[in-house]
Amino acid sequence: LCSPCAQEPETAEHLCLHFPFANEVWKRIRTWTGELVQVPEPGIAVDRWWMSALTALPKQARRLKASILIYTVWTLWKERNRRTFEGKSARPQQVVVFIEEETALRKLVVIR
């Protein structure tokens, strides 16, 4: 079972897309990116989500969006590990700040 919620199997889809905490992070990412990134649809698989999120975008927008998606999923995974192995947790808005800082370090330009 998912270690943070103990309600669902611990799958990539659950942890990164559908876990209620992840859903709140995605809502905040949507706002931060001016709706470039959308909240994942309930029940969507990671591969289908990835392809549908990046289809039909110009190259520059696709690269920017892919970077934000990757940083968001990576930061959600790190939050899962922080909760599981360190007994610490961040609030969704803190996780978004971590993502903003990471993208700034990589010198990505994010639409606000």
**Nearest C-alpha neighbor of 10 from the set 68, 56, 76, 63:** 76
Annotated domain spans of the chain: 12-110
E strands, 1-112, are none
pLDDT of residue 4: 74
Average pLDDT over residues 41-59: 94
72, with CB counted inside 10 A (0-12, 13-18, 19+), is buried
Average pLDDT over residues 14-43: 95
Categorize the per-residue pLDDT at 109 as very low, low, confident or very high, splitting at 50, 70 and 90. Answer: low
